[in-house]
Each structure stands twice: as C-alpha cells, then as structure tokens.
Chain A
C-alpha cells in the first residue's frame, strides 16, 4: 500500500516535470482545491461545530424547558458544573459506565480473539461460516435490543422453555438488580465481538510467516506459537480495537432503553442514558449540556489516544 502510494507520487512528479508545470498553474490548482473544500468545511462547521458550541454555551445556563426565562441566563455560569460535582446519581452512572465498558471490552477482545484465531486456520468450512459471525454486528442496534428483550422474556424465550423442562425456577435477569447489568453485558458482547474479531482476522492475514515457520521447525506447539509469536504481533491491533469499543461503549443506548430503561433503580443507568433522562424526560437541558461536555471531553481524549496509537503503529511498520 505504502509502496504503491510512493510510486504514484513519483509518477506524478515525473509527469509534472514533463508537462512543464508552471507556478501559475500550481497556484490555480491550489485555489481550485480550496474551492472544492470550502463547502464541506463550511457545512461541517455548521452541522457539527456550531451545535457543539451551542451545547457549550447552554451548559453555562440553568436552561429548563419548563421555564423559558432560563434560556440565556448567565448569572451563574458554573452552577451546572458545581452541581455535577455533588450529583450522586451522576457519579453512580459513571461507575456503571466504567463497569459496563471495562467488562464488555475485555470480553469482546477475548471472544473476538478466540474466534479469529480459530477462523484463521482457514479450512473451507470456516471460510464458508465466516460471514455468519458478522451478523450480530451488522444488525440495526434497535433490532439487537429487541432480540434480547425476546430472549430475556420468560413467556416467549426459548431459554425459559429449557429452564422449565429442567424444572428450574429462573427469574428474568433484566428486572433483577443484581443481574440486570450482566444481562446488558451479555447482549452487548454478542453484538460487538464480531467487530474485534474482524479487525484481528485482518491483522492475522497480514502476519509474516517466517517467524511462525521457524518456530514450527523448532518443534514449538500450537500454544507456544500463539503465546510467544501471534499474541505479541497482535498487541497493537488489540489496543486499537479495544479503544474503539471502549469509546463506542459510552454510546450504548438502544440496549439499555429497551431492556432495562436504566433500572431497576439505577443499576444500569450509564452516563449517556442519564443525560438522555435528564434532558428529554425532565427537560433539564442546561445541566444535561454540562454533563455532555464532560463526556465529550473524555471522548476527545480517548480519540486522540487512538490516533496516536494508530499512527505510532504505522510508523513502526515503515
């Protein structure tokens, strides 16, 4: 890929020299590019940056839709950010978020890795079945949530038929305070392990053969090969896939909305969901905006880490 790009660049330079490319033409070209770029940048700014700025401004007001006078009230700009420090329900939501994110990311990396390592044996049967593992990830998130609602509903779930046959009396986990979060974690892991799997598979396909072959000749077992050669090779890939899932886990919404509605109590109320409740159920827009800004700050930091991780990785390859 890199090589090809370099060839292309060299070619282009050659052509330009032959064409006797003048500085005037070069200037015209740059102007043309800016002309093409300007509309995108302008519209991107209007649809994304402007709303974010508006969100920031709103976070300095006590805006409550029930009381229109609060809209441009900047008398105490930091009131929301002070409230935020003492809001136990918010702190709980961060804690729930941390549990959900860490456990799902670890499980997804683990399952994704195991399935990818298996599929990497690339027998004809595996190549045929490969696509079926992608299904959970490509389903619309809302459908995934409904599917799991079905599975967790005792009167229609096939799992509960089985429990009944075995004579077990099992409560549905989604209304049980000690199991509700686990129920979400199971569903989320099912939905997203294909993502880590497919990224790991892609990395495995590009893995150089020499090291493995040398170790095989030396009589290394499959486990030793995996542990000492494959896993170290995958380190960067696992990091990037994990970071992506980590950030996306902050957005988890349909699963919680459909399965538990943040409950019972607030045991499955993640920060994103708490914001949704505060803003769209209670109309405390100003306060929600402040919490969202905190969440956004965290996401920007994590995104920056990803970019560093990715470009660090590709630099090492060059």
Chain B
C-alpha cells in the first residue's frame, strides 16, 4: 500500500476514535450534569417536562437548604471526617515507617489484614459497633463516627505511607544517625518533613472515604451526629419529594469530593486497591 494511503487511513481511524470518545464522554457525564443543573432549577421547571429545558437559574434550592438542619449535618460530616483523618495519620504514620524499615516476617499476613479491613462490608463492623455504642452511649455521637471511620482510615494510612517510605532513600536517616541524632529525633526532624506531600495525599484520601460514608452514618446516628449524606436522603423520606433541595444537597456533598479527587487522580487507584497493589 502506498504511504499516503496508509496515512489517510490512519487519520480516518483517529477521527473516528476521537468522535467515539467524545460521544462516550458525553454519555458518561450526562447523568451527573443533569443532576447539577437540576439543583439550579426553580421547582416548577423540574416537573415541567421538556418545557422546563430552558429555565432561569435560581439559588432558591440552596438557600432553602441552608435555613434547614442541613448546615449542621455538613458540619458533622466535616468534623467527623477531619478528626478521624488526623487521628489515623498520627497513629498510623509512625507505624508505617517502622513497617517499612524493620525486617518483618509476617509481610503477607499483614497485607491480608489490611486488605480484609478494606474489603469487609460495613455491616460487619456496624453490627458490633451498634451493640457496643448502645451500651456505652456512643450512638448518635460524633465520637462514635470518628472511631468507626478509623476501621478503614488506619489501614489506608499504614498501607499508603508504608509504600511511600519504601520508595524513599534511607541515606539521610543513616547520615543523621552517624551524626549522633537519636532515632526519635531523626524520625521527627528528617523523615516527617520529607513526607509532607505523601501525608497530604493520604489525608485527602482518608477524608474523602469518611466524607463519602453513608452506611455507618445511617446505622449509628439518628439526629445529633447525622452527616450530610444521610440528611439528603431524609429529604426523600419525610418531607415529600423536594427534588430541588435533594439536588442542591447532593451537589454540595460532591463538590469537595470532585475537586479533591480529580486533582489527585493518580493516587486514587492506589487508595482503592490498598492492600494488594503497591502504588
């Protein structure tokens, strides 16, 4: 075949592939975009069928949401997610460092433990936690949620941070020891500052996992500590079907998630496959 003909065929293929990818991207994004647009629609236009396609955007769904208990539930979401993330980092990071540097024989057992805690269905933890919390008066408290979130956050921190430490050279630490720095000081002054970016990444992942939680918040809270995902679902149950408010609430919940996770999509998979695949 002459060269030019081949090139033409290749170009046709590329154009075809590009077109298919554009179409697929639109199909993928459409349900999500529809939902976001709906949150800016006046109530009448939501039910107006095709006539509601063109509408004057409004913030009324958001303002009516904010007068509600919704702000409180957002605050609950934020507090439980951040505190659990910080706790997991403080407890987990030194352990991850030790795991990376010490010579361990139970490598595979440990992997299995981490993987299992990521794989376990939330109900497996929800049942015992529910019983214990009922007894201890921790049901419907932020403390209760923070502790439950440690079940997955700790494993995540240990796994991700250990991978990070595995990939960092030991020469700096060794040099510090030679200079007479204590083990503890070396860890605090040399190792930790070096891990800044990795700590931030891990923190964001932990935060997102806790923020996205629905099951624990559904089963372990009733009122006071209820988080935003559960509150939004409640709009469906007892206040009739206020779709505008539901869409506005859903959009507010997903904004931080979208922003953070697309920023660091490279690490997303490392977080999701924790326990099995080294990032």
Q: Chain A 144-187 against B: per-residue CB contact (8 Å), 1 yes, 0 no?
A: 00111111000110100100110000000000000000000000
Using a CB-CB cutoff of 8 Å, which residues 1-55 of chain B contact chain A? 13-14, 17-18, 20-22, 24-25, 28-29, 31-32, 34-35, 38, 46-47, 49-50
Q: How far is the CA of A161 from the CA of B48 in the complex (A)?
A: 10
Q: Chain B 171-193 against A: per-residue CB contact (8 Å), 1 yes, 0 no?
A: 10011011000011001000000
Q: Chain B 42-86 against A: per-residue CB contact (8 Å), 1 yes, 0 no?
A: 000011011000000000000000000000000000000000000
B98 to chain A, nearest CB (A): 4
Residue positions of B touching A, CB distance < 8 A:
13-14, 17-18, 20-22, 24-25, 28-29, 31-32, 34-35, 38, 46-47, 49-50, 91-92, 94-99, 101-102, 108, 111-113, 115-117, 119-132, 147-148, 150-151, 154-155, 158, 166-167, 169-171, 174-175, 177-178, 183-184, 187, 211-212, 214-215, 218-219, 229, 232-233, 236, 243, 246-247, 250, 253-254, 257-258, 261-262, 265, 268-269, 272-273, 275-277
| CB of A44 within 8 Å of the partner chain | yes
Write out the residue numbers on chain B whose beta carbons fall within 8 Å of the beta carbon of A299.
116, 119-121
| CB of A288 within 8 Å of the partner chain | yes
Write out the residue numbers on chain B whose beta carbons fall within 8 Å of the beta carbon of A67.
none
Size of the A side of the interface (Cβ < 8 Å), in residues, is 102
Contact for A15 among B120, B175, B261, CB less than 8 A: B175
CB-based nearest B residue for A274 = B123
B167 close to A4 (CB less than 8 A):
yes
Residue positions of A touching B, CB distance < 8 A:
1, 4-5, 8, 11-12, 15-16, 18-19, 25, 28-30, 32-37, 39-41, 43-44, 47-48, 50-52, 54-55, 58, 115, 118-119, 121, 123, 125-126, 129, 131-143, 146-151, 155-156, 158, 161, 164-165, 190, 195, 198-199, 202, 222, 240, 244, 247-248, 250-251, 253-254, 257-258, 272, 275-276, 279-280, 285, 288-289, 292, 295-296, 299-300, 302-304, 306-307, 310-311
